[in-house]
Chains A and B, each alone.
Chain A
Amino acid sequence: MLCERCQERPASVHVTRIINGDKTELYLCQECAREMQPQLNFSIPKFLAGLLDYEPGLEVKAPPAGERCRECGLSYEQFHQTGRLGCPDCYHYLAARLDPLIRRIQGSSQHRGKVPRRAGGNLRVRREIERLRAQLQQLVEQEEFEKAAQVRDRIRDLENRLGEQGGGQ
């Protein structure tokens, strides 16, 4: 079988492409496959960029001129090309464009996981209170009132601690 692109060399590469649900199959020779590589390669940055362009909720398509991270200088364009941010502060300075993208790829924009002891501040305590409240609810439903009382006291302790911290600041 001859390569479907150049019709000269024998085909040795089988490529399946699915674009918007349309499946196309190509039989190519090594050289044509290599030449078509940039189109065929799946890249996360391009994928991310693609997602951005189709973001329906995003009304301002063109980023305002000079939208850059004030810490590392990365522009939104650069992120758009590489899919990589420049520094932790990019999340802050490029938030207007970045947050919709994060919501889109993650399905959420609120961290619910682990909170580091030192950098996490009050969040760690607030999280613990949330977790205990859920536990309390469960214990009440299971009619384990003794355990529930213990959990309730623990919640009070933590709330007091938060209150003291808040007052002291």
Chain B
Amino acid sequence: MSLNLERNSKWMEGSGPQADIVISSRIRLARNLKGMPFPNLMNEAQEVKVIRQVGQAIRAPGVFQAVGELRLQTLRELSPVERQILVEKHLISPDLAEGKGEKAVVLRDDEAISIMVNEEDHLRLQCLLPALMLHEAWRLADAADDALENELDFAFDQERGYLTACPTNVGTGLRASTMLHLPALVLTKQAGQVLTALTKVGVAVRGLYGEGTEAQGNIFQVSNQITLGRSEEEIINNLSAVTVRLADQEREARELLRKQNRWQLEDRVGRAYGILTNARILSSQEALQLLSDVRLGVEMKILRGLDQRLINQLMVRIQPAYLQFTAGKEMTPFERDVRRAAMVRELLAG
């Protein structure tokens, strides 16, 4: 398969419900094959077998009819930089990219569907869409899951549901998450309070790259904690409601900022834009923070003539692996900082 790593993923489109605050929506389904140990206990022959079975299943006519063409790529055939780009685009986990053994990823052309093969579970089917489209992502994941289930025997138990390597995923195997940009809640120092409150309603909050990471660029990921005892619709409805509520809270905080600190706000946005369009050296952390300010400016219509899509693309393009890939060579951190600044200047200048 020719992996076109430079293309934009569907989630970067930047349009859809609540797109001013919600960047993307993801559904993940954990599935395992019957009669096969989970990946942590598999030997190489078994790993290859799982990849082969998944490879055959995705070529079945029923799968094509349900979700279109899916293509499988073994990770062994990818360079470390190429693997890292898949992480930066949120298509695979760092664990899959770094893991030893035989692993693979299945992708649809628009990257709205990806399946990690031999991560913690045999299959981790993911659907990633822009803005708040959890229900749409669920419909797509459900259709892909149904079609795959025709070809593969999934481990399922009437009481416990889908059986997974970790009991925190058993049942639906569903992890639904949304990525939100919450700069005003951070600026008005409400973020900690609001996000702590969320954990009381069965929602977990994490940084941009999942478990154990910090919220870079004021981007937070919220997801359901419980996977057993509730239906998929209930889980998704709950997370959607929480996401809408969070977005409302963020909008209120933005209006407060506009009323009480209008000049400081516009100054901050303007300075961020100024630095991004003029800097000669930019670290990825600084770039993400400034992009967060510019994004806020775009969303609050302080900055005109820029769109979210460009900012979503920039968020991926400033990442180390993506930069090196488009440069066609490995670079030192300093070389990357120089190239990052040049690329951001060029793209923002249009």
Contact = CB atoms under 8 A, between A and B. Distances in A.
A7 B71 CA distance: 56
Contact of A72 (B32, B41, B159, B170): B41
B145 to A, nearest CB: 8
A72 B37 CA distance: 7
Contacts of A92: 157
Contacts of A120: 156, 158
Nearest to A121: B158
Contacts of B212: 42
B240 to A, nearest CB: 16
A107 interface: yes
A109 B34 CA distance: 21
B121 to A, nearest CB: 10
A42, A48, A85 — most chain B CB neighbours (10 Å):
A85
Interface in B132-173: 142, 145-146, 149-150, 153-163, 165-168, 170-172
Contact of A102 (B150, B160, B234): B160
Interface residues of A, number: 35
Interface string A13-41: 00000000000000000000000000000
A114 B159 contact: no
A126 B167 CA distance: 25
B157 A91 contact: yes
Interface in A104-126: 105-121, 123
B41 A87 contact: yes
A74 to B, nearest CB: 7
A58 B155 CA distance: 28
Contacts of A150: none
B343 interface: no
A84 B229 contact: no
Nearest to A82: B40
A91 B40 contact: no
Nearest to B161: A111
Contacts of A44: 166, 168
A82 B172 CA distance: 22
A26 to B, nearest CB: 18
A126 to B, nearest CB: 9
B150 A117 contact: yes
B227 interface: yes
Interface in B24-70: 32, 34-38, 40-41
A109 B149 contact: no
Contacts of B32: 88
Given A106-B226, A113-B232, A101 B155 contact: no
A106 B168 CA distance: 7
A44 B150 CA distance: 33
B158 A109 contact: no
* Highest count of chain A CB atoms <10 Å: which of B146, B171, B234: B171
Contacts of B120: 84
Contact of B160 (A42, A48, A111, A115): A111
A120 to B, nearest CB: 6
Contacts of B163: 88, 91
A88 B166 CA distance: 10
Interface in B158-217: 158-163, 165-168, 170-172, 174, 212
B146 A107 contact: no
B149 A118 contact: yes
B22 interface: no
Given A110-B228, A112-B231, 19 more contacts: A84-B165, A85-B167, A87-B38, A91-B170, A92-B157, A106-B170, A106-B226, A109-B160, A110-B159, A111-B157, A111-B160, A111-B171, A112-B230, A113-B171, A114-B142, A116-B156, A119-B34, A119-B153, A120-B158
28 contacts: A48-B167, A85-B165, A85-B166, A86-B38, A88-B32, A88-B35, A91-B157, A102-B167, A102-B228, A105-B167, A105-B168, A106-B167, A106-B170, A106-B226, A106-B227, A108-B229, A108-B230, A109-B160, A109-B229, A111-B158, A111-B171, A112-B171, A114-B145, A114-B231, A116-B149, A116-B154, A117-B150, A119-B149
Interface of B: 32, 34-38, 40-41, 120, 142, 145-146, 149-150, 153-163, 165-168, 170-172, 174, 212, 226-232, 234-235
Interface of A: 42, 44, 48, 72, 74, 82-88, 91-92, 98, 101-102, 105-121, 123
